[in-house]
Amino acid sequence: MTSKAIDVLKNSKAYFEDFITRSTYNSNAIEGSTLTYANTYAIIFNDESFKITATSREIYEAINHKYAINHIIHKHVENLTQKFIVDIVKTINKNILEVEGFRNVNVLIRGSEHIPPDKTQIYNLMMYFIDNYNNTVFDSVFEKIATMHIEFEKIHPFIDGNGRTGRLLINYELLKNGLAPCVIPVEDRSIYFEFINRNDVQGFAKYIEDKVKQEEVRIEQIASAEAIGDRR
């Protein structure tokens, strides 16, 4: 799939709403959001037919994630920079937490034995990460995504929003390479965390590749349904 995915994202209202809702719902649910899929759609696309019960944080998380995806869609052709990453995490945390840059405190990751590096190491680690991201040659885009995503989550460079930012960067790289984006479903949360905890680059690379193939099928299905609708 060349540029078809990005064209469909920009030009198909049905697929755009479908992908944005699925991506937002699942990524936030992985981090503990209790919003339902229907409520997520209602919040980010202003559907007042649903009665929504949610915390203000969950509402902001949904809205912010939508805008962060938009940022990825329109900026995916650019090389990865510190500003690009910080802009994503600032968007994700808007009206929730003030984030101006890399963390200046030490953090822990819930449910993980891994302890992220000391706050004094973050700037240098991220400069190396960005340089490595832009200049290292990998065997495949999926190996690159898996390697760099695991490394990003291990560094854990921000106070909050690391998981959501990392998953957005997965789609940044997919779109940059003319591939369909992907969604990691909340049902796969344990599998996904195990890839990271075990540094399982090959397993995670295959997983992402499979999700991209599934998304390609979904894009075709939605495009076909839209075409039938247009002829009626």
Q: What are phi and psi of 52, to 5 degrees?
A: -110, 130
pTM over 0.85: yes
Residue 19 and residue 209: Cα distance in Å, rounded?
Answer: 17
Q: Which residues, other chains included, contact 163 with Cβ-Cβ below 8 Å and sequence gap of 6+?
A: 27, 30, 31, 153
CB 177 within 8 A of CB 205: no
Residue 149 has pLDDT above 90, yes or no: yes
The pLDDT tens digits for 155-211 are: 999 999 999 999 999 999 999 999 999 999 999 999 999 999 999 999 999 999 999
CATH of domain 4-231: 1.10.3290.10
CB–CB of 219/15 below 8 Å? Answer: yes
Give 30-74 pLDDT, tens digit per residue.
Answer: 999 999 999 999 999 988 777 788 899 999 999 999 999 999 998
pLDDT band at 1 (very low <50, low <70, confident <90, very high): very low
Q: Give the domain ranges of the chain.
A: 4-231
User: Residue 2's pLDDT band (boundaries 50, 70, 90)?
Assistant: very low
Alpha-carbon distance of 77 to 43, in angstroms, equals 29
Q: Which helix H or strand E contains 42, and what residues bound it?
A: helix 37-44
- Over its C-alpha atoms, the chain yields an Rg (Å, rounded) of 18
Q: Is a pLDDT exceeding 50 seen at residue 139?
A: yes
Q: Which residues contact 109 (CB under 8 A, 6 or more apart)?
A: 115, 116, 153, 156
CA distances from 15 to 9, 10, 98, 230 (A): 6, 9, 32, 15
Per-residue pLDDT for 137 more than 80?
yes
pLDDT grade for 102, boundaries at 50, 70 and 90: very high
